[in-house]
A and B are shown apart, each in its own frame.
Chain A
């Protein structure tokens, strides 16, 4: 069966520090991969998605970037964090979006 792993679960980082969040999927190949952010409140903001290695689509211009160095690995990065980057970051995968996504357990990022 397929599983998705996301880490770390929580992270407290100072303003101006770098960020690296990692997401991996097991048990499938060539998944679509997604990064979402959920700020205080409930809404989901799509940040990046990837339909294959090296293919990254950015939905929101900001100081975050994403990379997909391997088929089942998706990394969210920043060179210098801002206070506004605080939030709950969710990774997700799908084989076919018509059947929905499977989400990871999320990373709670607090920038101080």
Chain B
């Protein structure tokens, strides 16, 4: 079945550091890929998505490229801010009614 593997957290960075959160997946066919962000005490928000190989999703300075050959969708940001502290979820959909989520990676950014 489908699965998503994310790097274990927490990831701790200083403000303005470069961020990478790794995400790899196992799925049949050509899934759509997503990154969601959850700020403390809130629901999840869609951060970005990509629906086919080599697509790059981007939003709020975050980027992720759909790599079919490595089955990966790593999240990157060039310069993180304290306000980026949150939990980040990678997810996929391979044509079913439900998404498959990773376990989430907590990001902590200090001033």
Binding site for A on B (CB under 8 A): 32, 34, 36, 38, 41-46, 49, 51, 87, 89, 91, 93, 95-99, 101, 103-104, 106
Enumerate chain A residues within 8 angstroms of B98, measured Cβ to Cβ. Answer: 34, 46, 49, 97
Q: Is the CB of A97 within 8 A of B42?
A: no
Residue in A closest to B46 when the chains form the complex, CB atoms: A100
Enumerate chain A residues within 8 angstroms of B96, measured Cβ to Cβ. Answer: 97
Q: How far is the CA of A103 from the CA of B32 in the complex (A)?
A: 18
A40 to chain B, nearest CB (A): 13
Q: Is the CB of B42 within 8 A of A100?
A: no
Enumerate chain B residues within 8 angstroms of A49, measured Cβ to Cβ. Answer: 97-98
B70 to chain A, nearest CB (A): 22
Residue in A closest to B48 when the chains form the complex, CB atoms: A100
Residues of B contacting A: mostly: strand
Enumerate chain B residues within 8 angstroms of A104, measured Cβ to Cβ. Answer: 43
Residue in A closest to B96 when the chains form the complex, CB atoms: A97
Residue in B closest to A32 when the chains form the complex, CB atoms: B97
Q: Is the CB of A105 within 8 A of B97?
A: no
Q: Is the CB of A97 within 8 A of B43?
A: no
Q: Is the CB of A100 within 8 A of B49?
A: yes
Q: Is the CB of A97 within 8 A of B106?
A: no
Q: How far is the CA of A97 from the CA of B51 in the complex (A)?
A: 11
Q: Mark A75-110, 1 if CB is under 8 A from B, else 0.
A: 000000000000000101000011111111110100
